[in-house]
Chain A
Amino acid sequence: MFKIANVSEELASEMEKYQAEAFSDQTENQYKLAIAYLMDAAEYFDLAGMEKEAHITSLILQKFAAPPEEIITPQIIHDVFDPQRNYDPHKSGPKKIYEVDELIPEEKIKSNYVDPTPAVEPTELPFQLKEEKERFEKPSITKDEAYKLLRKHERMSRFLTGKLQDDARNEYIATILYLKSVLDGRPNPDIYIQYKQKHAPQWAADIIFK
Chain B
Amino acid sequence: MFKPLVTSDDIAADMEIELIKSAREDEFVAKRDAALDCLNKAAELFDELGFEKEARVITVLLEKIAG
Question: Which residue of B is nearest A154, CB measured?
Answer: B59
Task: Tell me the chain B residues, 23-62 only, with Cβ under 8 Å from chain A.
Answer: 27-28, 31-32, 34-36, 38-51, 53-62
B39 touches A114 (CB 8 A): no
Q: Majority SS of interface residues in chain A?
A: helix
A30 at the interface (CB under 8 A from B): yes
Q: Majority SS of interface residues in chain B?
A: helix
In the assembly, what is the distance between CA of A44 and CA of B65, in Å?
14
How many chain A residues sit at the interface, stated as a range, is: 35 or more
Residues in A with CB closer than 8 Å to B53 are: 68, 71
Q: Count how many chain B residues have C-beta atoms less than 8 Å from C-beta atoms of the other chain.
A: 35
Question: Which residue of B is nearest A109, CB measured?
Answer: B49
User: Are A158 and B35 CB-contacts (below 8 A) given A37-B42, A72-B57, A113-B50?
Assistant: no
A74 at the interface (CB under 8 A from B): yes
A12 at the interface (CB under 8 A from B): no
Question: Which residue of B is nearest A80, CB measured?
Answer: B64
B66 at the interface (CB under 8 A from A): yes
B45 touches A30 (CB 8 A): yes
In the assembly, what is the distance between CA of A35 and CA of B45, in Å?
9
B56 touches A74 (CB 8 A): yes
Binding site for A on B (CB under 8 A): 27-28, 31-32, 34-36, 38-51, 53-66
User: Considering the complex of A and B, which 4 residue pairs feature the smallest CB-CB distances, nearest first?
Assistant: A44-B35, A48-B31, A34-B45, A41-B38
